Amino acid sequence: MIRLDGPKRTAVILTGVAGLMLGLSFAAVPFYNWFCRVTGYGGEVAVSDTGADRILDRRITVRFDASREAGMPWEFRPLQTEMDIRIGETGLAFYEAYNPTDHPVAGQASYNVAPDVAGGYFTKIHCFCFEMQVLQPGERVEMPVTFYVDPAIMDDIDGQNVEAITLSYTFHTAELPMEQAAMAPVAGPPTGEAGQPAASN
């Protein structure tokens, strides 16, 4: 059995902690989304394949918000700031993303709604956040989200007083899929005129 002295033991422990933190950083976004779906924490929304079975006369305002994690190079914004719809009515909103870099970038959106009490009643039918998005260099895309506010919110003593809901997305950088990574250009030596290698000094 190998015995490590104090400084070596400390170095081994710190290396292990650093490796664990790195692994957790890659798992943070999918774990957060899974945790919210299971617990409803952070105003996590519901998901449905179809629209609501009834539409009420009561109207509600849906606001749209966008942000990026530190280091995410995309530009990302909602194409509308808010929408006034009836409870149970299917709404369609769009977000825009733009990759200003010279290489493909993959992103995954995490999301929630506020106030938290509205989370279980804000129902998505289709959303760009369900899948990873890959933008090519200079690519700009419009990404839809289809949703409705479940009429059951009116049966909730706290939910029935909600007049506005904010839908928020945060885009995180994701690992580029293998096929996309293989197509990414590899930086070569600088070139001079007519594509010839630049002369060295």
One pLDDT digit (tens) per residue for the chain, 201 residues: 555 566 666 655 656 655 555 454 444 445 444 444 433 344 566 888 888 999 999 999 999 999 999 999 999 999 999 999 999 999 999 999 999 999 999 999 999 899 999 999 999 999 999 999 999 999 999 999 999 999 999 999 999 999 999 999 999 999 998 666 555 554 444 444 444 545 544
Distance CA 88, CA 152 (A): 9
For residue 23, the tally of other CB atoms under 10 A from its CB is: 10
Q: Residue 122 has which token pair? A: 């804000």
Q: What is the DSSP letter of 153?
A: G
> What's the CA angle centered on 119, arms 117 and 122, to 5 degrees?
125
Topology given in CATH for the domain delimited by 23-182: Ctag/Cox11 (Pfam 04442) (2.60.370)
- DSSP assignment string, 63-103: EEEEEE-TT---EEEES-SEEEEETT--EEEEEEEE--SSS
Cβ-proximal residues to 182 (8 Å cutoff; 6+ apart), any chain: none
**Nearest to 120, CA basis, from 51, 32, 40, 34:** 40
Name residue 59's beta-bridge partners: 86
- pLDDT value, residue 50: 85
Which residue has 């749209």 as its token pair?
64
Domain boundaries along the sequence of the chain: 23-182
Q: Residue 89 has which token pair? A: 């009515």
- pLDDT value, residue 187: 46
Rounded to the nearest 5°, which phi and psi values hold at 34? -65, -45
